[in-house]
Structure 1
Amino acid sequence: MGMIMSFMGKGMPSTQTLNMLMGTLYKQFIDKDVKEFDDFHAAILDIFTTVNSTLPGKHYDVPSRKEVQECFIKWEKGDQESKKHVFVEFITQRVKVGVLDDSTVITGIVTPPAAMAAKKAGENVPQLKMIKAIPDFIFVPSATVLALMSAKLSRKMLMGKLGNSAS
Structure 2
Amino acid sequence: MIPAADLSGATRRSSDLSKHSAEVFAEAEDHPVTVTRRDGEALVLMSKREAEGRSRLLDFAAQLITVTLDDQGTLADRMAKVFPWMLALSPADRASCAQDLVDAARASFSTDQPHLAIAELTSWKETATAVAAGLGRTDLEWLDEDETVERP
Q: TM-score range by the shorter chain?
A: under 0.3
Q: Normalising to structure 1: TM-score of the pair?
A: 0.25
Higher helix proportion (structure 1 or 2): 1
Q: Normalising to structure 2: TM-score of the pair?
A: 0.27
Higher strand proportion (structure 1 or 2): 2
- Max radius of gyration: which structure? 1
